[in-house]
Amino acid sequence: MFRQATRLFNSVSTSSIVGKVGLGRLNHVAIAVPNMSEATSLYRDVMGAQVSEPVDQKEHGVTTVFVALDNTKIELLHPLGENSPIANFLKKNPSGGVHHVCIEVDDINAAVKTLLDKQVKIIDPNPKIGAHGKPVVFLHPKAMNGVMVELEEK
Amino acid sequence: MFRQATRLFNSVSTSSIVGKVGLGRLNHVAIAVPNMSEATSLYRDVMGAQVSEPVDQKEHGVTTVFVALDNTKIELLHPLGENSPIANFLKKNPSGGVHHVCIEVDDINAAVKTLLDKQVKIIDPNPKIGAHGKPVVFLHPKAMNGVMVELEEK
């Protein structure tokens, strides 16, 4: 009886108790750019991609332009106003660079629970409404091989 | 007659003579990682993604693991052997980071011609056979808002 219970306990790993995050689609790759009109022209006029009009997202401190690829999109980001979350990034990377990648998950709260239980550092574990009107969290680059990963609920 | 010719010339922009690159699918986002087994475990065991076995690509100086997302993939890269093209990247970015993004194009030679005509810097404008057996070129990060962009023929 005791041996059976021990075996049962051993067979249930921490992983299966906590669940997994469950990555879905890559929603976008976000690139911080020092000059939005030049970056837009590069993707539209040289690369031949469809690009959106620029949209000022005051509550997020960024102006965004979306570049359509066949299966996902690139999000060009430029700082808007003071205290923009990408101003420091552009100070450190004056040419620009990949600011984050955004991956969809089915259930943001379940994903956060799993990540906290597995001690993966989340910048703010309380989901906020992101630029697409859906709840998001950002995982810390130090926990994700130097890449800031945004998880967005589908 | 003269005016007609002038008008005709003006209506043909440089852009339409040279053509456009024509971006297709985002093939992958490549992330350089300092520890391949930890990175693989993070994506497989915590995130719940399907990951490939590691493959040593000696001719490219990297070991690769692919992480399947619903619409594209993440390519984890770790240096292999001496003179790995990502060894310097990891020296500058010890936690890792996005090394490049790879976008598909219909015709790599046409894309290169357009980019050279438009003075977009290509690291080596002679396409080479990449890790997936298809011709590729790499666009210089300075020309692409700090992001190294690999173009791969479909």
Asked whether the ipTM of the predicted complex exceeds the cut of 0.90, the reply is no
**B96·A21 Cβ contact <8 A:** no
Mean pLDDT of each 10-residue bin along chain B, 154 residues long: 41 55 96 98 95 94 96 98 92 97 96 95 94 93 97 96
C-alpha distance from B5 to closest chain A C-alpha (Å): 25
The conformational region for residue B13 under phi > 0 = left, psi -120 to 50 = alpha, else beta, is beta
Give the model confidence (pLDDT) of A54-104 as tens digits: 999 998 899 999 999 999 999 999 999 988 999 999 999 999 999 999 999
According to the model, what pLDDT value does residue B20 have?
85
Out of A2-6, A29-33, A119-123, least confident range: A2-6
According to the model, what pLDDT value does residue A57 have?
92
d(CA A93, CA B23): 25
Give the model confidence (pLDDT) of A7-56 as tens digits: 444 444 444 456 788 999 999 999 999 999 999 999 999 999 999 999 99
List the beta bridge partners of residue A64. A55, A77
Averaged pLDDT for residues A133-140: 96
Mutate to test the interface with B, among A121, A145, A151, A154 (most CBs of B within 10 A): A145
The separation between the first and the last C-alpha atoms of chain A, rounded to the nearest angstrom, is: 45
Say which amino acid occupies A4: Q
- Residues ≥6 apart with Cβ < 8 Å to A4: none
According to the model, what pLDDT value does residue A13 have?
44
Write down the number of H helices and E strands in chain B: 5, 9
Q: Specify the higher pLDDT residue, A4 or A95.
A: A95
- For residue A100, give Cα distances in angstroms to A20, A146, B29: 21, 10, 11
According to the model, what pLDDT value does residue A4 have?
41
Of the candidates B96, B115, B118, the beta carbon closest to that of A147 is on B96
Three-state SS letters, B77-114: EEECCCCCCCHHHHHHCCCCEEEEEEEEECCHHHHHHH
C-alpha distance from B1 to closest chain A C-alpha (Å): 31
According to the model, what pLDDT value does residue A39 have?
98
Chain A positions touching B121 (Cβ under 8 A) are none
